[in-house]
Homo-oligomer: A and B are copies of this chain.
């Protein structure tokens, strides 16, 4: 039997850290012994635990510790982070450390250094000269990069439960549609205002159902009014937004009456063709061909947008980044200072953005399909608050509250 001592600090009981530690050990058929435990006596006091974890053998113990590490357990004797060079481009050393999306620190020269740009499922690369550490996806690894290996000398800080009631705790565990949604709209509106007041950024991730349901003008309004700092979307959102501006239709249904015109597909291809003729969405706007809509407001108000390509795309529009890795990297550049992410009706983009968001970014996912939210949280974006509702009537209400 192999043993290892771990330490936990903070609001570890009500933030479900200590329970998860015990649970995990038992899920893995391990054993534990609590060596020391000091409970926080009041709600603002931190707790402290020192626990001996026991595995059947080295591998078993390592499996358990790997999991415990992710929820914030640290090994008390502080060691330097071990580093190994990447053997070639886009290849990691064998025992590379795999990141979570929580704030992470590496031990360099007896000091804890924060890992920059943290996101899940990446590796940590250290610049020894500058004494700095970066989170890097495997696609950006260069031969010789010094990569953190093993778990020693790496510290993770999972998020703690806020000390008071917050909308982001509300309905945390379930994805039910039977909730008082009008109230939630108000709470989200106040969360947006609060983020703006702190001079932080609001990211909107938007799917084309916004246009199909006639809610495009409401999102456009939010952009015009300065509530959106950056927009991530795909080709379809931009195409149907422009289609609705040029022809008053979305997928060929008249936005105002809901009646079919010459249905769908020709109009969206014409919209693409008009952009092609102009050269870009930006040129289309500058030429005065469209006078409103989501893309128009982004361009007029200098709100940066990233249109990421997908294999479903018609066209695509010139601004669409067709290489998915380049699209990911472009999105990463815009995440700085983002404190709130609003995801509207897009499973693909929501999961993709969830993958690169650090866990401290408050995330709200609005979708009529509960599976979108379930998948988002299953894949590690545990901070996401899911709201199962109709974006076509949610957005007008949100606009009204702001």
Q: Within the oligomer, what is the number of copies of this chain?
A: 4
User: In the assembly, what is the distance between CA of A49 and CA of B66, in Å?
Assistant: 30
Please, what's the 1-or-0 string for A359-402, where 1 marks a CB less than 8 Å from any CB in chain B?
Answer: 00000000011110011011010000000111011101100000
User: In the assembly, what is the distance between CA of A43 and CA of B310, in Å?
Assistant: 44
Contact of A180 among B187, B255, B263, B312 (CB under 8 A): B255
CB pair A43–B14 under 8 Å, yes or no, is: no
Q: Which residues of B contact A138 (CB under 8 A)?
A: 269, 272-273, 276, 314-315
CB pair B322–A325 under 8 Å, yes or no, is: yes
User: In the assembly, what is the distance between CA of A304 and CA of B90, in Å?
Assistant: 25
CB pair A178–B213 under 8 Å, yes or no, is: yes
User: In the assembly, what is the distance between CA of A362 and CA of B265, in Å?
Assistant: 22
Q: Which residues of B contact A378 (CB under 8 A)?
A: 174, 176, 178
If A180-B213, A312-B348, A325-B309 touch, does A262 touch B43 (CB 8 Å cutoff)? no
Closest Cβ–Cβ distance, residue A159 to chain B (whole Å): 14
Please, what's the 1-or-0 string for A318-336, where 1 marks a CB less than 8 Å from any CB in chain B?
Answer: 0000111111100100000
CB pair B314–A265 under 8 Å, yes or no, is: no
CB pair A26–B255 under 8 Å, yes or no, is: no
A137's nearest neighbour on chain B, judged by CB, is B314
Most buried by B among A19, A164, A165, A176: A19
Closest Cβ–Cβ distance, residue A6 to chain B (whole Å): 15
CB pair B259–A165 under 8 Å, yes or no, is: yes
Contact of A92 among B13, B212, B273, B328 (CB under 8 A): B273
Q: Which residues of B contact A176 (CB under 8 A)?
A: 374-375, 378
A388's nearest neighbour on chain B, judged by CB, is B368
User: Could you pull out 26 A-B pairs where Cβ atoms are within 8 angstroms?
Assistant: A13-B19, A16-B16, A16-B19, A19-B19, A22-B43, A25-B43, A26-B165, A27-B260, A33-B41, A37-B39, A63-B261, A88-B276, A91-B276, A91-B277, A137-B314, A178-B212, A179-B253, A182-B396, A187-B258, A313-B325, A314-B355, A322-B325, A323-B324, A348-B348, A368-B390, A370-B370
A-B contacts besides A312-B351, A388-B390, 18 pairs, CB < 8 Å: A13-B18, A16-B16, A31-B42, A121-B269, A138-B269, A139-B316, A170-B258, A176-B374, A177-B213, A177-B390, A179-B258, A182-B396, A316-B324, A322-B326, A368-B390, A369-B371, A370-B370, A393-B397
